[in-house]
Amino acid sequence: MPPSRKFAVLALGVACLVWTGRAPADDAPAKARLPEAKKKDATKFLRVKRDAKDNPLALETATVRYVPATGEGVTVDLIGVVHIGEKAYYDALNKKMEQYDVLLYELVAPEGTRVPKGGKREGGNPLSLLQGLMKSVLDLELQLEHIDYTKKNFVHADLSPEKMAEAMRERGEDALTVALSVVADFMRRANVQEQKKADKAKAAKGREDDEEIDLMGLLLDPNAAVKLKRLMAEQFESEGEAGLGPTLNNILVADRNKACMKVLGKEMAKGKKKIGIFYGAAHMPDFEQRLRDEYGLKKDKEEWQTAWELKPKRGLNVPPLLKLLGGDQ
């Protein structure tokens, strides 16, 4: 796949994996922590389920439980999520999150912010526009519109836009330098992956999803949603959080995780025993390492939820372009 096309797909993927809220986050210590999060024993929080012929059936995310080495005391569940998914996926997560004494959630917004039922769509917000576009093109639903953030056990555990901007200024960053760095990271990875894909082409020959994807042509393709979802799901699985590139990891992951861990400590001090952390899947390897290093917790068990169905849908499907022209966002 040409680098420019790869960049477009990865840009959409970033929003699915880590973007929720109103602005990008800052992340000074991320580079120092990322190597630790990539140890051989690091847990996978996202995978593609396949059939006997290796064709993708579903994109799944994990909920992983961590417990004290003694087996007694607080338990912390890392609930990895993609921010655009099937409605049934979010319905199941809503039910799951009722079990926790406290559920820490991400949202780049002032401290204590709660999302009203049905979400809050900001028409002029570029992120909202991007998410609306993805909802139509991928035939999926938005997390903020289906997760019930008004539940009493939900606690906001993220940075505010002001805190993020402050950290960026301290590093000498602004919107232009960040944008240029992100583009450079994606293009650099695209060039590397292009060669890897060529090396694996023979082994992948004959698979259903091995056809070349034309992102522009997809707008007129009734099967566009499943084709693009399959492509993105495989990239998520193969690249994981590394697919974000160092700049986005630096901006979107570790400082936000650090802020969340401070809230976790406060809730533990209040005596809460069963705690969930509800964040994008790309945040979870860093969270796992922090739970091990800072709290001495160990992995106990994991379970998987289907976020995207990747099997072609039968019946009449509307091409994305017609959806967009019809204002279906």
Q: What is the pLDDT of residues 64-102, one digit of tens each?
A: 999 998 878 899 999 999 999 999 999 999 999 999 999
For position 96, what pLDDT does the model report? 97
For position 225, what pLDDT does the model report? 80
Contact partners, residue 47, CB within 8 Å, separation at least 6: 59, 60, 62, 237, 304
Best CA proximity match to 21, nearest among 233, 178, 256: 256
Does pLDDT of 134 surpass 50?
Answer: yes
Contact partners, residue 308, CB within 8 Å, separation at least 6: 58, 59, 82, 85, 86, 89, 138, 140, 229, 233
For position 313, what pLDDT does the model report? 75
Does pLDDT of 321 surpass 60?
Answer: no
Does pLDDT of 48 surpass 50?
Answer: yes
Which residue do the tokens 């970033």 mark?
14
**223 vs 151 pLDDT, higher one:** 151
β-bridge mates for residue 276, sequence order: 77, 103
Q: Which of the four pLDDT bands, split at 50, 70 and 90, describes residue 205?
A: low
Name the 3-class secondary structure at 9. helix
Mean pLDDT, rounded, for 273-290: 95
Contact of 65 with 300, CB cutoff 8 Å:
yes
Does the predicted model carry a pTM greater than 0.85?
Answer: no
Instruction: Give CA–CA dist 82/307, Å, rounded.
Output: 7
Contact of 284 with 45, CB cutoff 8 Å:
yes
